[in-house]
Amino acid sequence: MNLKCVIIFVALCGLLLASVGCLSVGHWSVERPIELQQRSASPVKDRVVLGVGNKVVTLSFEDWQRPDKFAASPSQDRLRKVPAAVAAWVNDGTVSSELSFASSGAWAIYIPSAGRYRLTLRILPADSDIQVRLRPGRAHLNCGNIAAEKTIEPGAFFVEFVLELDSGSQNLQAYFTNQLPNRRTVGAFYVDARHLPN
């Protein structure tokens, strides 16, 4: 390889590294891309913070970390109709096309203080005009290293867990079994979380 080719190769590599933010041109040092630095700067960024004061935090299905399959869904507007469609099915067997989009997801959360937390799982928010009487089945809650489940009591409108949670960044997933046609699982679309005093 001649010297001219080496110089062109080095120049092209430098341009490539500079274009993705990995090269600090002033002193020729290679660093991590800027967006990676910003992502790791705070453990709370893009996470819902639980347990600040005595406040109840409501997690909504709209805050789930979206798997790739949601990228191909018809619209966010249609996805917003899914909890009501599930509620109609659970309450009186009404079938709608939105049931096909019913699934489960996980929330990215940050817990500043370890301790006891009350987590209330629901199909619709607590202040909804429609009450959803859950069908017999199981409620599941996974958070960090904890996997808990409970039998859904007859006539229950929600399922409540009181758990000791560790501090730090974690994923939280909550779902019900036997609530959809063919006994499919479905996410708890809303979770109310509250840090309990010692």
Q: Are residues 31 and 70 in the same domain?
A: no
> What is the number of domains present in the chain?
2
The pLDDT of residue 111? 93
The token duo for 29 is 């040092």
Nearest to 109 by CA among 146, 80, 151, 148: 146
Contact by Cβ (8 Å): 88, 129: no
Together in a domain, 154 and 133? yes
Location of structure tokens 């501090």: 167
Amino acid identity of 194? R
CATH number at residue 131: 2.60.120
> Per-block average pLDDT, block size 10, for the chain (198 residues)?
54 43 34 30 68 88 69 60 84 80 87 94 93 94 95 94 95 92 87 92
Q: Domain containing 20: what range?
A: 3-41
Residues 55 and 152 in one domain: yes
Cβ-contact 180, 99 below 8 angstroms: yes
Structure confidence by residue, pLDDT tens digits, 44-93: 567 889 988 778 999 998 888 865 444 445 566 667 788 888 888 888 88
Amino acid 30: pLDDT = 31
- 163 in the same domain as 84: yes
Per-residue pLDDT, 26 = 35
User: Could you give the CA distance from residue 103 to residue 25 in angstroms, rounded to a whole number?
Assistant: 47
What DSSP designation does 36 have? H
User: Is there a single domain that holds both residue 100 and residue 13?
Assistant: no
Interatomic CA distance for residues 86 and 72, integer angstroms: 21
> Looking at the structure, do residues 15 and 112 belong to the same domain, yes or no?
no
Q: State both tokens at 90.
A: 């659970």
Note if the pTM is more than 0.85.
no
Nearest to 192 by CA among 142, 144, 146, 123: 123
